[in-house]
Structure 1
């Protein structure tokens, strides 16, 4: 498969995966705390603890998704490349 197509697909999948995880995490957060996530909660009395936890969790999950997709795309790119002959085969 074309490298540019793989890169574009990887970027799209990363963005979609992060957006989906944000929705899921927001839903879980609301069920667990009874409040919307801090990013969408304009309450000035929001505790900094909740803001920090939300930031850490969403950052961690988003980064894991991006890295996993990037690694998969790189793996697919390497599978498409013709293998170089080793010195023993020459």
Structure 2
């Protein structure tokens, strides 16, 4: 049962965090630059500077937000089920298991 919960909570937390962070980043971009973010930074018509700044800002903020939310989800799981989430615990030899 607990592994089924983690299969829903882990990815669900990451998905929601990504969606919220993406909206926040776009609003912050508009607030700072007074223009919408590039729809497709890979488009050659988008200036290099704008494409790179957008990629760095959005990637960092979304990545850090996902990390924070997914770690909190893992803490919640550990506190609720008294075990590490599947794929995040230590193996029999004491090494941290790799995510599959």
State the TM-score, normalized to the length of structure 2.
0.64
> What SS is found at the alignment partner of 1:35?
coil
Conserved? CA contact 2:10–2:74, under 8 Å: no
> What SS is found at the alignment partner of 1:39?
coil
Q: Deviations over 1:4-39 (max 9, x none)?
A: 213312311211111111112112212221221013
Query: Which of structures 1 and 2 has the bigger CA Rg?
Result: 1
Conserved? CA contact 2:6–2:77, under 8 Å: yes
User: 1:51 corresponds to which residue?
Assistant: 51
**Whole-angstrom CA distance in 2 between matches of 1:68 and 1:55:** 20
**In 2 relative to 1, CA 73–63 (structure 1 residues): closer, same or farther, beyond 3 Å?**
same
Structure 1 unaligned regions, length at least 5: 83-90
User: 2:18 corresponds to which residue?
Assistant: 18
RMSD: 2.4
Deviates more, 1:59-68 or 1:1-10: 1-10
User: 1:9 corresponds to which residue?
Assistant: 9
Count, aligned residues: 81
Structure 2 unaligned regions, length at least 5: 84-100
State the TM-score, normalized to the length of structure 1.
0.69
Distance apart, 1:60 and its partner CA: 0.9
